[in-house]
């Protein structure tokens, strides 16, 4: 899927949207609302993982681009593979523009293929900091070192809860490809699952972001202390070009349909959203602030220092992707739902 880029025209359009709601008077009202206010940044995972790191990076800069310059207060809301945070933002959080947050990229399709009880099209999407690939990784001590090992040898993989990337991809490989794995779910976040892998509690995990590998675990590459089994992406990461793509391993058209549906989430790898139905002028202010942060020189400099990818995907692109996903034929969705079912675990 083509990578979206924030343009000057889009930023100008967001500002124009503010003015359309009443010009300077409305702009002043927005500033009055946010001035001296704390804005909650709900983070659907525990401290130390990739989602947490991206959220805190954004939180350090987005406040200065919101009229009134509110303080951005990160709040961990781990649970159920970030479904807890998604449900909070969708149904519980104040719908006044004072709350936004981040959760698993897979939450966009979770209502279709899992048990999430919301319509992901109705979130107030702000955008994604980047797109990304995910991979399956095992510890160097694990006997699971290649795709063939993955299929032929019993293994245990860590998960975070229904609808999270590690659970979705592990179950897909088990139910569709026949991998002899057992899924142990319930870890609060990727960092916790990696620690379990390093302690030998599990062989590894699937659905970990390549950006997280590069920024949090560079020693896996430099010291060869991990095995990369398969890439969940449409295009290979050059640094691990020898690792196969899941799409290259399919045996049937049905397998390819399922994988392509699940890969939609890779294009919104680090998503941020506010609740549905917030006031239009505050929605416009948050969208403009997110877009401005993606071009903020200080934000970009820190991201580069941290080796974080910044390839922004704007809100309009996410809205379009989700509209297309929700139009997926029901039979394909049914097959995908069965493929990532935990029944029989």
Per-residue b or e along 114-125, where b marks 16 or more CB atoms closer than 10 Å to that residue's CB: bebebebeebbb
What homologous superfamily does CATH list for 8-131+267-331?
Bordetella uptake gene, domain 1 (3.40.190.150)
pLDDT score recorded for residue 164: 86
Domain assignments of the chain as residue spans, ordered by start: 8-131+267-331, 134-264+335-339
pLDDT score recorded for residue 265: 85
Q: How many helices (H) and strands (E) does the chain have?
A: 15, 11
Handedness of CA 92, 75, 30, 120 (dihedral sign): negative
The answer to whether domain 8-131+267-331 and domain 134-264+335-339 are alike in fold is yes
Contact (CB, 8 A) for 265 and 81: no
Phi, psi (degrees; rounded to nearest 5) at 106? -75, -10
What angle (nearest 5°) sits at the alpha carbon of residue 74, between those of residues 197 and 45?
A: 25
CA-wise closest residue to 206 among 179, 242, 176, 169: 169
Picking from 7-16, 123-132, 152-161, 249-258, which range would have the lowest pLDDT averaged per residue?
A: 7-16
Place of tokens 């416009």: 284
Which CATH number is 134-264+335-339 given?
3.40.190.10
Picking from 20-29, 227-236, 238-247, which range would have the lowest pLDDT averaged per residue?
A: 20-29
Banded pLDDT at 233 (limits 50, 70, 90): confident
Q: Per-residue pLDDT tens for 257-303?
A: 899 888 888 889 999 999 999 999 999 999 999 999 999 999 999 99
Instruction: Indicate whether 195 pLDDT > 90.
Output: yes
pLDDT score recorded for residue 17: 52
The CA dihedral of 303, 307, 313, 318, to the nearest 10 degrees, is: -110
**Residue 236 neighbours by CB under 8 Å, 6+ apart:** 133, 243, 245
3-state SS class at 22: coil
Instruction: Indicate whether 118 pLDDT > 80.
Output: yes
Banded pLDDT at 1 (limits 50, 70, 90): very low
């Amino acid at each position: 899927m083509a990578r979206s880029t924030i343009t000057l025209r889009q930023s100008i359009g967001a500002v124009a949207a503010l003015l359309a709601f009443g010009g300077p008077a409305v702009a002043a009202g927005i500033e009055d609302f946010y001035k001296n206010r704390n804005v909650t940044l709900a983070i659907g995972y525990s401290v130390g993982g990739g989602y947490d790191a991206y959220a805190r990076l954004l939180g350090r800069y987005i406040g200065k681009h919101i009229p009134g310059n509110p303080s951005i207060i990160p709040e961990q809301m781990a649970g159920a593979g970030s479904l807890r945070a998604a449900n909070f933002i969708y149904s519980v959080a104040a719908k006044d523009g004072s709350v936004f947050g981040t959760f698993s990229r897979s939450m966009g399709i979770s209502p279709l293929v899992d048990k999430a009880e919301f319509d992901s099209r109705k979130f107030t999407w702000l955008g994604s900091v980047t797109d990304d690939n995910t991979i399956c990784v095992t510890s160097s001590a694990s006997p699971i070192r290649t795709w063939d090992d993955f299929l032929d040898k019993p293994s245990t993989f860590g998960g975070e809860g229904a609808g999270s990337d590690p659970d979705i991809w592990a179950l897909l490989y088990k139910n569709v490809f026949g991998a002899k794995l057992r899924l142990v779910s319930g870890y609060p976040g990727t960092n916790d699952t990696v620690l379990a892998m390093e302690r030998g509690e599990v062989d590894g995990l699937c659905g970990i972001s390549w950006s997280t590998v590069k920024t949090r675990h560079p020693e896996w590459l430099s010291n060869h202390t991990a095995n990369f089994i398969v890439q969940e992406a449409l295009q290979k990461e050059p640094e691990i070009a020898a690792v196969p793509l899941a799409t290259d391993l399919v045996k049937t058209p049905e397998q390819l349909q399922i994988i392509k549906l699940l890969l939609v989430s890779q294009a919104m790898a680090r998503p941020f959203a506010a609740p549905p139905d917030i006031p239009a002028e505050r929605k416009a202010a948050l969208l403009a602030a997110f877009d401005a942060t993606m071009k903020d020189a200080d934000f970009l400099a820190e991201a580069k220092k941290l080796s974080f990818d910044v390839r922004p995907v704007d809100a309009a692109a996410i809205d379009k992707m989700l509209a297309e996903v929700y139009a997926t034929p029901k039979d394909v969705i049914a097959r995908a739902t069965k493929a990532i079912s935990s029944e029989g675990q």
